[in-house]
């Protein structure tokens, strides 16, 4: 009776190419482990926040955004996550990433409507839209805004208006009010230019409506007198003497130095004042 026979496993012969593939797989596996946030970064929420805030204070806005995102990913709840989202909106704004800044501020307002710093989110929305509309040259020459898209300016005005109405004692309200004055004046210039264009084209109903809209929306703007003048001319051309007289009477009462009332147009002709291009 023969005993059990032992067999030896055949020798494993690896080609150089196979060895290289195995080494690459091993290295990729180790690399994947290093990318695991739990393996790579064990910092607390406070430490991650301090790191992001340091980048923000150093004006390294792209780095700040990345750091805030890491904080929100690892610690999605709590006061650090809330503050991170608010400060990330500011970092996006300073980095010139308009859409991301607006979206982040909107998300903060929706998620934390009762947050003690929600007024800052409205302010960031306003200044982001404001800077998007009011470029460097436009700040030097406000009249150059005519014939441009006014949507960002209107949104900025609405953001600042909501901030001032809801949080009149906010630390950001005084600056918001000053920006609203600038926006109001620029928007009123735009409305007057459009109304003059309609008047020149003899679209008198449209011109009168633009003048009335300006008075209702921006009642204290420096263009209010010109709006009344346009309404007077448009109503006269439309054969509506009562409305024309009303517009003239208000103009005489509130703007006695207006060229239509005083007769002094600075040497300009009538249509030159209506079409100053």
Pick the more confident residue, 39 or 18. Answer: 18
Q: For 145-161, how does the pLDDT look when each residue is reduced to its tens digit (9 = 90+)?
A: 555 567 888 889 999 99
Neighbours of 255 (CB within 10 A): 17
Tokens representing residue 78 in the block: 């709590």
Q: What's the gap between Cα 223 and its chain centre?
A: 26
- pLDDT tens digit string along 165-198? 999 999 999 999 999 998 888 889 989 999 999 9
**82 and 112 Cβ atoms separated by less than 8 Å:** yes
> Is pLDDT at 144 greater than 60 in this prediction?
no
Gap between the Cα atoms of 131 and 126, Å rounded: 9
In this structure, what DSSP letter does residue 250 have?
H
- Reported as a single tens digit per residue, the pLDDT across 52-68 is 999 999 999 999 999 99
Q: How far apart are CA 184 and CA 179, in angstroms?
A: 8
Tokens of 151: 């949507």
User: Are 106 and 155 contacting, i.e. CB atoms less than 8 angstroms apart?
Assistant: no
What is the separation of C-alpha 69 from the centre of its chain, rounded to a whole number of angstroms?
A: 21
Every domain of the chain and the residues it spans: 42-95
Interhelix angle 151-166/118-133, rounded to 10 degrees, is 160
Q: Tokens for 237? A: 């051309």
| pTM beyond 0.75, yes or no | no
Q: How far apart are CA 153 and CA 180, in angstroms?
A: 10
Torsion sign across C-alpha atoms 123, 152, 107, 163: positive
């Amino acid at each position: 009776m023969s005993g059990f026979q032992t067999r030896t496993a055949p020798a494993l012969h690896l080609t150089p190419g196979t060895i290289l593939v195995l080494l690459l797989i091993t290295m990729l596996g180790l690399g994947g482990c290093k990318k695991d946030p739990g393996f790579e970064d064990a910092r607390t929420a406070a430490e991650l926040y301090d790191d992001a805030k340091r980048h923000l204070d150093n004006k390294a806005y792209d780095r700040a955004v990345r750091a805030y995102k890491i904080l929100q990913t690892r610690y999605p709840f709590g006061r650090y996550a809330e503050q991170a989202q608010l400060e990330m909106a500011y970092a996006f704004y300073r980095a010139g990433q308009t859409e991301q800044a607006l979206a982040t501020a909107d998300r903060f307002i929706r998620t934390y409507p009762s947050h003690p710093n929600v007024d800052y989110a409205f302010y960031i929305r306003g200044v982001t839209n404001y800077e998007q509309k009011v470029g460097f040259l436009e700040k030097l020459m406000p009249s150059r805004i005519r014939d441009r898209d006014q949507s960002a300016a209107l949104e900025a005005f609405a953001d600042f208006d909501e901030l001032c109405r809801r949080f009149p004692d906010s630390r950001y309200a005084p600056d918001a009010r000053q920006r609203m004055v600038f926006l109001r004046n620029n928007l009123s210039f735009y409305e007057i230019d459009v109304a003059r264009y309609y008047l020149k084209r003899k679209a008198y109903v449209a011109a009168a409506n633009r003048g009335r809209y300006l008075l209702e929306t921006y009642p204290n703007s420096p263009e209010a007198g010109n709006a009344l003048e346009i309404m007077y001319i448009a109503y006269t051309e439309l054969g509506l003497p009562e409305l024309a007289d009303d517009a003239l009477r208000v103009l005489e009462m509130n703007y006695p130095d207006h060229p239509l009332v005083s007769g002094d147009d600075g040497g300009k002709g009538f249509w030159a004042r209506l079409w100053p291009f």
